[in-house]
């Protein structure tokens, strides 16, 4: 379980490092939901964090498998016409953004 401040910290870094490169983001986004664009990362952030945190790999495939198992398999949009997750081209950036926050938090604990 993540606190609101933890989710805000992850969200801020993700917006800067990931969302800023999303070709689907609306003008003046992110955040995208208030602008009418549903975003899977915004919608399922805690689940994405859990999926990423359960993996420690130099390869992206285990992260993708974890996200498919923990997030996509229970998403109501799975198999529909519109999947709101830009995983195909932003997954590496998402994992890097989460690791950036994790590293910063580890340094703060020392």
Collapse the DSSP code of 91 into the 3-class scheme (helix H, G, I; strand E, B; otherwise coil) and give the result. Answer: helix
**Number of structural domains found in the chain:** 1
pLDDT tens-digit series, residues 54-107:
999 999 999 999 999 999 888 887 777 777 677 778 999 999 999 999 999 999
Q: Identify the pLDDT of residue 92.
A: 94
Nearest to 40 by CA among 13, 22, 60, 17: 22
Q: Which two tokens stand for residue 5?
A: 């401040």
Token pair 């229970």: residue:
74
- DSSP code, position 35: G
pLDDT score of 4 more than 70: yes
What range does the domain containing 95 cover?
4-109
pLDDT tens-digit series, residues 12-67:
999 999 999 998 888 888 888 889 888 889 989 999 999 999 999 999 999 999 99
């Amino acid at each position: 379980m993540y606190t609101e401040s933890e989710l805000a910290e992850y969200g801020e870094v993700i917006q800067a490092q990931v969302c800023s490169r999303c070709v689907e983001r609306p003008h003046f986004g992110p955040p995208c939901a208030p602008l009418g664009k549903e975003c899977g990362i915004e919608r399922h952030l805690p689940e994405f964090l859990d999926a990423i945190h359960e993996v420690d790999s130099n390869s992206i495939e285990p992260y993708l498998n974890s996200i498919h198992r923990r997030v996509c398999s229970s998403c109501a949009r799975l198999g529909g016409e519109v999947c709101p997750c830009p995983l195909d081209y932003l997954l590496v950036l998402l994992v890097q953004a989460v690791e950036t926050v994790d590293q910063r938090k580890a340094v703060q604990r020392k």
